[in-house]
Structure 1
Amino acid sequence: MTYRKLLFSLILVFKFLDFAQAQVPGFFMKEAARKVRIPFYSSNSLIILPVSINGKGSINFLVDTGVRSNILFSKTLGDALGLEYTRRLSIAGADGSTVIMAQVSPINTLDMGPIEGRLQSLLVLEEDFFELESVIGVPVYGIIGYEFFKFNPVKINYDEGFIDFYRENSIKWKPPFYRKLDLAIEENKAYITAKINQKNGPKLEAKLLIDTGANHGLLLNQETSDAIKMPPVYIESQLGQSLGGVLYGFIGRVNSLKLKNLSMREVLTSYPERNTFSEIIVATGRQGSLGSEVLGRTRLILDYPKKRALVRKGENFYAPFEFDMSGLVLRKIPNDDNRIYVSEVRAGSPAYKTGILPFDEILTLNKVPIFLYELSDVFKMLRSEEGKEIQLEMRRYQGNDLTNYNDYKVSIFLKKQI
């Protein structure tokens, strides 16, 4: 073969590869490179990225390895973006009992700057769901799931707040200081095996879902194994907000969680209540999941094509796991300027003893107007130091009349409950 024929053949091959890539749903670099870097906003180690849909505007999406499909939380927003729908379906809420109706928009482009999601399907919720903002503290309009990870290694640097998105097969060896974990990809979700030393039960070797979109640390589903035992000390609490409503259960601790030879101690652990979704969890063969409270303490590479996770210690790997010491479950009013209210007060807690009630609104925290705080900063303060005094100015409305209220002041002294 002559040099000219060889060059012509190579050009045809590369053009075919470019054409084939353009026809396959997935996320791809816009320009040829070994890697590109995307900064993200982090709230309690949840990963939030601005995304443009079909070239229109830019809205916040949560990057979530725990879901198969991309989701847009609002059909109102989808209609405004001019999305086209091909079919209607129902999806089960995470509480196992709520049925949520959604429209399927099958072909969309999701632009993240140097990365582009091509031929992306979106599940668009018919009933607007903006409850994540009330928990996270910033507006989030959707979720990006498996598609973002399926072709390319993705390195998450929680300490500095960026993602490195690598060309396929560009990480051929294990980088220095990283430990390799086998990654199982099942039904478009990623699982690893970890060792757990319980306080009140046998040692476990547990199959755990990697769930970057969950704000817990370790979660164990008791219905999946008789070996999972509740610790001797635990409290009943809300575990998080999800599609379908608030999840309830218990919070305790395990002695240790070991990923390869990286060991975390006294890890906060969620034990959700059994529900109608439990059968589906049991069918996956998993015993629980790892959320952002654990993952956010690491430097993490998820390499779905090679079925491996690479992990090393982050800057706060050894920081103690602390739970809220006030007894206040707080929420932000969605689409408002940092107005924070009390969703729930745990019985017997320091806040409960001061007489604070659900739906009371916080006006100032330690004499600083509450709108100057991010919700995540308030959470950190309420789990910061046992014995610390937290001064609150509160407002209690009378019924639904927002012009009729009483303001009052209280002090809470933080106390560990677990």
Structure 2
Amino acid sequence: MPVSINGGPEVNFLFDTGVKSNIFFSKTIADGLGMEYTRQLNLVGADGRTVLSASVSPNNNFDMGPIEGIFQAILVLDEDFLELEKVIGVPVYGVIGHEFFKNNPIKIDYDNMVLSFYRRSAFRWRPFGYRKVDMELIGNKPYIQTEIRQTKGPNFDSKLLIDTGANHGLLLNRETSEDIVLPPLILESDLGRSLGGDLFGFVGRVRRVSIDGLKFRNVITSYPEETEFSDVIIETGRQGSLGSDLLNRIKIILDYPRERMLFKKGGKFSNEFKYDMSGLMVRMYSADEKRFYVSQVRKGSPAAKQGVELYDEIISINKIPAVFWNLSDISELFRSEEGKVISLELLRRKDGDEATGSLRKITFVLEQQL
């Protein structure tokens, strides 16, 4: 979302129901916007180990055009963190959290890429066609009850965090319940980048996720390793979270004042849950440069078998130069269709030396592995 803070230029923020506070990633830019700070505090990173120092700026104006937030508190990281653009593919300077949207019902329309704010008094009734499920706020984060049917192990009811800032479909924390069992077919993987580090674990599928009778089938599911942050997760009583790969298949209204979630099928509801079939994870050097590199090569995958290596720079894909690709398009291509032929032109540097390198041409075929 484009946001202007204190009259400054618009910058991209991530709309994230999984965080309590607004967060700004650049102290350098924040100082230039004239932000004033009252105190410092520490944030625990996603890996449960990394501690990030942040300064509290209590009174700021957030301008989103027709929507304005006044007297908004924001946490400003003391060390600039601009790593998310390498994963997302566009510059991201902060996170809009519960602090901003706690007072209004909010509709998230993924199909049309529109976020709508409602006046609290004008939204007493359930819109036609929408289902309703109770939403519990714990630590200013929204949770709902779901039913999980696993490929192995018992069916169980689970309390899940609604996390629009996460890119997975379903995430289950095994340490929270003995009922959570790894499926027979899993892949070990880097599960994603967030504040304070990468999450590692396994990826598999569950047979079904049901929200008030609405069923999502064969959902790609992440099973992160236990971390020092696990005790905090256990205390909330949750078993995991729902992320954007599932949420973008429904239209959602989060009614914070009345603690309920309203939802109905979206245009992508019937789309199959797909996982990468190349064995590669690709990231950008920066959003300013259209340069992509291989950040992970899964053992035994089609790309690994043909010799793609970690940190290879992608020069072209299927004879189309890298400058014409977006990161999201590359990810979509690599999970598009089993049997599709992928041709990569790669630059491999010796010992990471920018001045030396050799071009490699590698071809592989996408193969369903999950």
TM over 0.5: yes
Counterpart amino acid of residue 248 in structure 2: G
Aligned to 1:86: 38
Give the aligned CA root-mean-square deviation in angstroms: 0.9
In 1, distance between residues paired with 2:346 and 2:136? 49
Mapping 1:246-325, distance limit 5 Å: 246-325=198-277
Matched, 1:124 2:76: yes
Mapping 1:34-183, distance limit 5 Å: 49-183=1-135
Mapping 1:6-21, distance limit 5 Å: none
Aligned to 2:326: 374
1:83 shift after superposition: 1.2
Greater Cα offset, 364-373 or 399-408:
399-408
Asked whether the 8 Å contact 1:149–1:302 carries over to 2, the reply is: no
In 2, distance between residues paired with 1:409 and 1:230? 37
In 2, distance between residues paired with 1:105 and 1:334? 28
Aligned to 1:40: none
In 2, distance between residues paired with 1:408 and 1:400? 16
Aligned to 1:187: 139
Name the SS of the counterpart of 2:121 in structure 1: coil
Unaligned runs of 5+ in 1: 1-48
In 1, distance between residues paired with 2:22 and 2:32? 18
Counterpart amino acid of residue 397 in structure 1: R
Asked whether the 8 Å contact 1:221–1:288 carries over to 2, the reply is: yes
Counterpart amino acid of residue 226 in structure 1: E
1:149 shift after superposition: 2.4
Asked whether the 8 Å contact 1:149–1:303 carries over to 2, the reply is: no
Name the SS of the counterpart of 1:280 in structure 2: helix
1:337 shift after superposition: 2.1
Asked whether the 8 Å contact 2:62–2:68 carries over to 1, the reply is: yes
In 2, distance between residues paired with 1:355 and 1:187? 47
In 1, distance between residues paired with 2:148 and 2:128? 26
Counterpart amino acid of residue 191 in structure 1: Y
Asked whether the 8 Å contact 1:156–1:163 carries over to 2, the reply is: yes
1:175 shift after superposition: 1.2
Name the SS of the counterpart of 1:227 in structure 2: coil
Asked whether the 8 Å contact 2:22–2:100 carries over to 1, the reply is: no
In 1, distance between residues paired with 2:288 and 2:72? 31
- What TM-score, normalized by structure 2, do the two folds share? 0.99
In 1, distance between residues paired with 2:199 and 2:320? 32
Unaligned runs of 5+ in 2: none
Counterpart amino acid of residue 163 in structure 1: L
Which of 1 and 2 has greater Rg? 1
What is the aligned-residue identity percentage? 55
Name the SS of the counterpart of 1:390 in structure 2: strand
Aligned to 1:395: 347
1:335 shift after superposition: 4.0
Counterpart amino acid of residue 337 in structure 1: E
Mapping 1:217-232, distance limit 5 Å: 217-232=169-184
In 2, distance between residues paired with 1:62 and 1:224? 28
Aligned to 2:149: 197
Aligned to 2:356: 404
- What TM-score, normalized by structure 1, do the two folds share? 0.87
Return the match for 1:332 from 265, 275, 284: 284
Greater Cα offset, 376-385 or 395-404:
395-404
In 2, distance between residues paired with 1:410 and 1:299? 41
In 2, distance between residues paired with 1:120 and 1:387? 51
Mapping 1:230-249, distance limit 5 Å: 230-249=182-201
Point out 4+ residue stretches in structure 1 off by more than 2 angstroms: none
Name the SS of the counterpart of 1:66 in structure 2: coil
Asked whether the 8 Å contact 2:89–2:287 carries over to 1, the reply is: no
Counterpart amino acid of residue 234 in structure 1: I
1:417 shift after superposition: 1.0
Name the SS of the counterpart of 1:229 in structure 2: coil
Asked whether the 8 Å contact 1:50–1:60 carries over to 2, the reply is: yes
In 2, distance between residues paired with 1:236 and 1:185? 32
Query: Structure 1, residues 85-115: CA drift from partner, whole Å, max 9, x if none?
Result: 1111111101101111111111111111111
1:401 shift after superposition: 2.4
In 2, distance between residues paired with 1:66 and 1:395? 38
In 2, distance between residues paired with 1:373 and 1:302? 34
Query: Structure 1, residues 200-243: CA drift from partner, whole Å, max 9, x if none?
Result: 11111100000000000000000100011110110000111011
